[in-house]
Amino acid sequence: MTEIAPTRPVVRLTPKAEARAIRHGFPWVYANELVLDRRTKALAPGTLAQLEDSNRTAMGVVAVNPGSKITCRMLDRDPEAVIDQDWFAAKLNRALEHRARLYDAPFYRLVHAEADGLPGVVIDRFGDVAVVQPNAAWADQLITPLVAALQQVTEVATVIMNGTGRARSLEGLDERTEVLAGDAPEAPLAVPMNGAHYMADVMGGQKTGLFFDQRPNHAFAASLTKGARVLDMFSHVGGFGLAALAGGAASVLAVDGSAPALELAAQGADVMGVSDRLQTRKGDAFDVLTALAEEGAQFDVIICDPPAFAPSRNALEAGLRAYERIARLAAPLVAEGGYLGLCSCSHAADLTRFRNASARGIGRAGRRGQIIHTGFAGPDHPLMPHLAESGYLKAVFFRL
């Protein structure tokens, strides 16, 4: 689907809606801020429309999804903008210029949704392969010009669409993973990062296959690990554990609930030539932490990087209790003077709430700690200042 001319339906803010927020950069219009008459409700998800304020002043081009709580996503402040391959290419060029300054190898998040001007779109790059997550209906509809622009700008040979996850279901989109250009990799891809080598399963792994957002936190954790005994909880493909081995850790125990993810961690260690210092253990994190305590295990550095325990505001209190419990179970396993790193990727749990829950858990374990470092997502995951949700990742490191 490619737009040829900017002839679009019009959607309008209600008189009570705060047009100033949109004018100053806020990227969304919620259902209760829009005149949802019969014509607007009948628009197909992903329809491009012209947004007007209540005085009928044009405000820009938006993507409309009447079935989503986020009914409109701002695409361009120019009401006459044509959303085609050239438009995508301009956005991608701007995103690429930033990443090219940051990294000497093409392994990074190329597009971080709203913050890079492509609402709901995530693109991770693995050298000659790009994985696209079109998590909004408009991007799903315009995937063809998006992929064409992506190949034009980056010259990647393979583009994979990973259409899975909660965000797509909230948009009413189906789940599917498919190769949109080139050939699917026959094996996991080796990704160099912080001196470690990670194996990314871009066709069947979690999200896009690897979490680039933790790169600076991996590096900080690795700075603590020379000669250390390290426990990497919720390790996925060995994120913190392999970085620790690259940093000179004496040993790493990587724990995850996914056997395939742990196998990829083991493959990464093999590529690095440090297999003799890595052990893996499959199991539920809460159960494994309890069992390790019963075994009398002690570690110099423990990192816990769980999935989002609070993916929405409704789940916030339960999520905070889960973060507190993780801290309470992990703290007794940290040797005196050792380090505990706790992470959250829940946008609903802000830094203060997450930090307080972590501190409560440490205190209830009978330990005391100093906060020595607070980390966030790397600069290839830019933060949109108007949108708190884009600052989802927090990492708080304690010395106990």
The percentage of residues in the chain with a pLDDT greater than 70, rounded to a whole number, is 98
| CATH class of the domain at 10-76 | mainly beta
Residue extents of the structural domains in the chain: 10-76, 85-181, 199-399
Residues 270-290 have a mean pLDDT of 97
Residue 216: Cβ within 10 Å count: 17
Q: Considering only 302-311, 362-371, 386-395, which range has the smallest mean pLDDT?
A: 386-395
| Tokens linked to 337 | 């003077």
Beta bridge partners of 197: 192
Between CA 264 and CA 150 the distance in angstroms is 28
What are 47-96's pLDDT values in tens digits?
999 999 999 999 999 999 999 989 999 999 999 999 999 999 999 999 99
Between CA 161 and CA 102 the distance in angstroms is 25
pTM here is 0.94
3-state secondary structure labels for all residues of 125-138: EECCEEEEEECCHH
What are 124-151's pLDDT values in tens digits?
999 999 999 999 999 999 999 999 999 9
Say yes or no to pLDDT of 1 above 70. Answer: no
Residues 253-271 have a mean pLDDT of 97
What are 295-320's pLDDT values in tens digits?
999 999 999 999 999 988 899 999 99
Please answer whether residues 230 and 277 qualify as being in contact, where contact means their C-beta atoms are separated by less than 8 angstroms.
no
pLDDT at 182: 97
**What's the CATH code, domain 199-399?**
3.40.50.150
Share the mean pLDDT of the chain. 94
Say yes or no to pLDDT of 4 above 50. Answer: no
Q: With 0-12 CB in 10 A as exposed, 13-18 as middle and 19+ as buried, what is 316?
A: middle
| Tokens linked to 388 | 């708190």
Residues 353-373 have a mean pLDDT of 97
pLDDT at 165: 82
Between CA 5 and CA 106 the distance in angstroms is 35
Residues 12-18 have a mean pLDDT of 88
Q: Is the domain 85-181 a CATH 3.30.750.80 member?
A: yes
Task: Place 112 in a pLDDT band, splitting at 50, 70 and 90.
Answer: very high
Between CA 248 and CA 318 the distance in angstroms is 37
State the DSSP code for 204. T
Residues 264-275 have a mean pLDDT of 97
Please answer whether residues 335 and 298 qualify as being in contact, where contact means their C-beta atoms are separated by less than 8 angstroms.
yes
Say yes or no to pLDDT of 16 above 90. Answer: no
Say yes or no to pLDDT of 6 above 60. Answer: no
Neighbouring residues of 371: CB distance < 8 A, sequence distance ≥ 6: 355, 396, 397, 398
Q: Starting from the edge strand earliest in sequence, which strands make up the sheet with 394-399, in order?
A: 278-282, 251-256, 229-233, 299-304, 334-344, 394-399, 370-375
**CA angle (377 as vertex; 223, 151 as ends), nearest 5:** 115
Residues 389-398 have a mean pLDDT of 89
Say yes or no to pLDDT of 170 above 90. Answer: no
Say yes or no to pLDDT of 246 above 60. Answer: yes
| Tokens linked to 338 | 């050792």
Say yes or no to pLDDT of 3 above 70. Answer: no
Residues 273-297 have a mean pLDDT of 98
Residues 321-341 have a mean pLDDT of 98
| Tokens linked to 325 | 């419990």
Residue with tokens 């160099």: 192
